[in-house]
Chains A and B, each alone.
Chain A
Amino acid sequence: MSHQPSAAISHLEGHGLPLRGDDIDTDRIMPARFLKAVSFAGLERHVFEDDRLADPSHPFNNKAFTGASMLVVNANFGCGSSREHAPQGLLRAGIRAIVGESFSEIFLGNSAMIGLPCLVARRDGVERLQTLIEQTPGTDIELDVASGVVTAGALRVEGSIAPALREGFLSGQWNPTVMLLNHFEDVRAVAARLPYIKGF
């Protein structure tokens, strides 16, 4: 699967990786010691490193899920620290979409900005998807960004992506920098009228 900055992302498919548990924080996804670097290169090696060491049966250790690109999680995934190193590590480890019950806002935004859609679905759907992948690891999973529908064999889970982010993925404009620079005179105008900038 290619991952070009600012390519449209409308349809994703791949194998699943079920990761159960609520409130999985970014310190666990990417322990702080791996933030000691001036680039994101190599972060894929450290995704969930401490959890994987502590638990040999951690899904990220499970050979059955090698090469998976669809991560399936539960509630409040990515809470805590704002470190973009967490979604960067997942992306670099081959994850192309995350399906979950809910996400922390900062994590969800960080993921969107690097072209990693987070799809929110109801608990029963997410759990059924996790169970299916656990039982049949190689199942092909498809995610349609526009409709928010995830299909895995006979299972169909309806979810959604926040509208603005969904539009960004579909149009290929999920990286907003250029958009933010498009009307720079408007930015200067706002700055010029703010009393704390123009002087009280």
Chain B
Amino acid sequence: MADTLFQKVWDAHTVRTLPSGQTQLFVGLHLVHEVTTPQAFDMMRQHGWRVAFPERTFATVDHIVPTSSQKRPFLDVMAEEMMGALERNCRDAGISLWAPDSENQGIVHVIGPELGLTQPGMTIACGDSHTSTHGALGAIAFGIGTSQVRDVLTSQCLALDPLKVRRVDVNGRLNRGVYAKDVILTIIRRLGVHGGVGFAYEYGGSTLEAMTIDERMTICNMSIEGGARVGYVNPDDATFAYLKGRRFAPAGDAFDRAVAWWRSMASTPGARYDDHVVFDAGSIEPTVTWGINPGQSVAITEPIDASPEDEAFAFMGFKPGERVQGTRIDVAFIGSCTNGRLSDLEEAARVVRGHHVARHVKALVVPGSQSVSRAAEALGLDEVFRQAGFEWRGAGCSMCLGMNPDKLEGSQISASSSNRNFKGRQGSPTGRTLLMSPAMVAAAAVAGEVVDVREMLDGVPA
């Protein structure tokens, strides 16, 4: 039968049908971070439950870590308490933890793939809505809440209803200066911020096939911003090449056998989808958000259309018909699980090289993991950024959300490579976020205002 990857993975991990009619689904990999788990461990202690599969559970710390100095104890007492709780919980349960003093700490959705933990055909869960990122390697990955974290720790299972599958095809070549971020912002804009509720998004088409795994992660990462809890790309040769040699990936002959299984889990040609949409890559332009949800975006050349989003206009200070281009920014943030990988930093550095950040702009680059940071330093990118006036920080979520010292102040405007422009998201209740690609953030940092990165790329070797 011609099945989708979603269906094949679902079937392979189904334990049984629960009395409620939901499926009891086995979780192959459970990723844990400090924010959504201490209460889960507490609930387990109250009931005397133990962690069922500690060897399938891996932890790191990302949201609360300061990125200017990661020395312990953290200056923020509460952050230190959360860190301590995670350390105790992992130690007691026998769970591997990458803390700031280990060389693999980083944003949970960056380190999973980079360590080879994330593999095709797996089910993955994490108490974090951007778990969909891992679908870039052909896994089915669910963001869950704390009570579900407790369930996965206790039983390695989730009680779930199946999702429908929407095939999202993007075909053709992306123009210069247009990146994976622009593609996913365009998809969300067209399908809506809740268009994906009830669906898994299977991304494909020639554009996706030509993308690197990093780029596919940017796409899958923001599935949830379109309402889809799950997003994935079928595994292919690029996926296998990415995994080869990674620490937790199979090695030697086992790798070849793994590839055969991974291939078999990809959607079969002719698989039936519940819905199908098509995008033309050539028509996508550098895209920026202007509002308070990630669906409120425009192409950089386009005026903001008049829509009944009074609240967004009032909060952001834009008027219908205005352009985002030319908006003066206060902060430029390059990082996050959406765009904090090596290739993102390389693209940004390409724009920045030989320029300097505008005097009124605070600009920071926050690598997604310590490993990304080392790789970037090996290429000398840290120096490129520093010389241009950026701060080069330690790995973490940083200014993607206001849980660590990196925050907007007052009603500052930030050009950000992260994923959410919600009110208050970047740590100031009145702070304003413009989402865009890392290259566009770099260009905005240099110009001091939102600009079309394509103008800066003229003359830069491709």
Contacts and interface: CB of A to CB of B under 8 A. Distances in A.
A31 B289 CA distance: 21
Interface in A134-178: 162-165, 167-168, 171, 173, 175-177
Nearest to B127: A82
Interface residues of B, number: 79
A102 B38 CA distance: 30
B425 to A, nearest CB: 5
Interface string B201-241: 00000000000000000000000110101000000000000
A36 B422 contact: no
B81 A196 contact: no
Contact of A196 (B35, B121, B127): B121
Contact of B15 (A33, A177, A183): A183
Q: For the complex, would chain A's binding face be called helix, strand, loop or mixed by DSSP majority?
A: helix
Q: Which of B14, B18, B76, B255 has the most CB of A within 10 A?
A: B18
B429 A80 contact: no
A193 B38 CA distance: 31
B345 interface: no
Contacts of A190: 13-15, 26
Interface stretch (A9-17, A21-29, A60-68, A122-130): A21-29
Contacts of A167: 19-21
A183 B79 contact: no
A1 interface: no
B54 interface: no
Interface in B11-67: 12-16, 18-22, 24, 26, 28, 35-36, 38-39, 42, 47, 49, 52-53, 56, 63-64
Contact of A106 (B129, B159, B225): B129
Contacts of A183: 15-16
B189 to A, nearest CB: 13
Nearest to A191: B26
A36 B145 contact: no
Contacts of B187: none
B19 A196 contact: no
Contacts of A28: 422-424
Interface string B151-162: 100111111010
A183 B227 CA distance: 33
A53 B22 CA distance: 41
Contacts of A79: 193-194, 227, 293
A199 interface: yes
Given A84-B147, A200-B261, A179 B15 contact: no
A113 interface: yes
Contacts of A38: 38-39, 42, 81-82, 85
Given A38-B82, A76-B197, A186 B16 contact: yes
B403 A35 contact: yes
A142 B95 CA distance: 46
A95 interface: no
B101 interface: no
B144 A31 contact: no
Interface residues of A, number: 63
Contacts of A35: 35, 63, 403
A187 B28 contact: no
Contact of A80 (B16, B250, B420): B420
B38 A39 contact: yes
A190 B82 CA distance: 34
A82 B53 CA distance: 23
Contacts of A195: 257-258, 261
B427 interface: yes
Given A27-B424, A33-B402, A175-B147, A76 B39 contact: no
Nearest to B407: A33
A34 B156 CA distance: 28
A59 interface: no
Nearest to B419: A80
A42 to B, nearest CB: 12
B122 interface: yes
B119 interface: yes
Interface of A: 21, 23, 25, 27-28, 31-33, 35-40, 50-51, 53-54, 75-76, 79-85, 87-88, 102, 104-106, 109-110, 113-114, 162-165, 167-168, 171, 173, 175-177, 179-181, 183-184, 186-187, 190-191, 194-197, 199-200
The 4 closest A-B pairs by CB, nearest first: A110-B145, A84-B145, A50-B429, A180-B155
Given A25-B422, A83-B145, A175-B147, 7 more contacts: A27-B425, A32-B403, A38-B38, A38-B81, A76-B194, A84-B146, A167-B19
28 contacts: A27-B420, A27-B423, A32-B401, A32-B403, A32-B427, A36-B64, A39-B39, A54-B430, A76-B193, A80-B225, A80-B420, A82-B129, A82-B143, A83-B145, A85-B146, A104-B197, A109-B145, A113-B147, A164-B159, A165-B20, A177-B49, A177-B151, A180-B18, A180-B159, A181-B155, A184-B52, A196-B258, A200-B255
Interface of B: 12-16, 18-22, 24, 26, 28, 35-36, 38-39, 42, 47, 49, 52-53, 56, 63-64, 76, 78-79, 81-82, 85, 119, 121-122, 127-129, 143-148, 150-151, 154-159, 161, 193-194, 197-198, 224-225, 227, 229, 250, 254-255, 257-258, 261, 293, 311, 401-403, 420, 422-425, 427, 429-430
